[in-house]
Amino acid sequence: MFVVEKTNKLLKNREVTYINLWNKPSNEIKSILYSFQIKPKELSGYLSDGIYKIIKDGDKEVGAYYKVKQHDLEENWLSPCVFANPNLNKFIVDLKTIVKLEYFSKYVLNNGIDIKQVKTAFSESATITPYRIVWGQQSSMKSIFLDNNFIGYGRIKSRNAIRLHNDNSSTFMISERPHLNNDTLIAFETQVNSLATAFWEIKLKNNFNDCMPLFILWFNSTFGLLLYLSISTNSMGEIFKTKKGQLEFLKSPNLKEYSDDIILKAKQLYDQIKTDDFQSFPEEFLLASQEKGLRKQIDDFFIKELNLDIDLGPYYAMLANEPILTLKRL
């Protein structure tokens, strides 16, 4: 639902009202009753201030509405409604000031190729070839380091296949379309240079290759995951898609703002947990709410090393009950 009005205000003064429904109205009458409750002028501030109002169906809470400054939507107008819970959407806004960030693209040489290009150039091969490819996103992919058992082979279909593989294959993968209910990871390392159908093959600039463990940990932290979702498109339920152009807005810590030894410490943690299995996103957040789990361990690392004054406990509880993760209504 959109609330639209014509305005002559300067961009810095423009605002957008978001209506975040958790339960679809069962008929037209209820739709009208919902709409009567939406009164943007009664909001005393913005989502960034923690201000929102609840929409009700009798005594049942069925949604919320809130205002966002339009200039905050330049990177992705969907970011204020990633989650059903407005407090999680506010947390995404807060992250951009809590952590000293910069665009991840500063460290990247190449973002790889998409699924269409891979499947045009290669078909899946049951026999060994020189061309390694991660086919799909398997539910058994649970660790941030994938050995060769998870990496298949490609058979050449087009003339430019070899060039595509040479130019774009990498050991650093970032998910292109995660399914949040079943999947476990946003980023991982492969044992050998590979292409992938469900991941972007990330090549870092030469002087940042030693930062790969830190980046893999970051994008699998709660901080990195939320920032990743904030630049993506929710295509259906728990499924998000991230196009190459959207990767330009992906953010990671500004390494110039932090101690040089954070890269070494990240590598030590990475080596310690790289073959351990993550649980699905909702299960990991449930574990984190109980002070357990790998994601909690990674979060604690960044809280310490980035000097963050934050308690993630309430957010773990919210995420463990979030509909796009659990597929259960609020």
For the cut 70, the answer to whether the pLDDT of residue 8 exceeds it is no
SS (H, E, C) 285-321: HHHHHCCCCHHHHHHHHHHHHCCCCCCCHHHHHHHHC
pTM: 0.93
- Within a domain: 91: no
Q: Which residues contact 315 (CB under 8 A, 6 or more apart)?
A: 87, 88, 91, 222
Q: Are residues 174 and 307 in the same domain?
A: yes
Residue 24 counted as domain residue: yes
**Is residue 265 in some structural domain?**
yes
Distance CA 283, CA 147 (A): 24
Percent of the chain with pLDDT strictly greater than 70: 96
- Same domain, yes or no: 56 and 134: no
Asked if 140 and 182 sit in the same domain, the reply is yes
pLDDT tens per residue, range 262-304: 999 999 999 999 999 999 999 999 999 999 999 999 999 999 9
CA gap 258, 27 in Å, rounded: 54
pLDDT band per the 50, 70, 90 thresholds, residue 11:
low
Shared domain check, 24 and 115: no
In this structure, the answer to whether residues 15 and 113 fall within a common structural domain is no
Any domain includes 199: yes
Q: What is the span of the domain harbouring residue 54?
A: 11-74
Whether residue 207 sits in one domain with residue 154: yes
pLDDT beyond 70 at 120: yes
Question: Is there a single domain that holds both residue 237 and residue 186?
Answer: yes
End residue of a domain, out of 56, 74, 92: 74
174 and 291 housed in the same domain: yes
Q: In total, how many domains does the chain have?
A: 2
168 and 317 housed in the same domain: yes
Per-residue pLDDT, averaged over 30-44, amounts to 94
Distance CA 18, CA 114 (A): 32
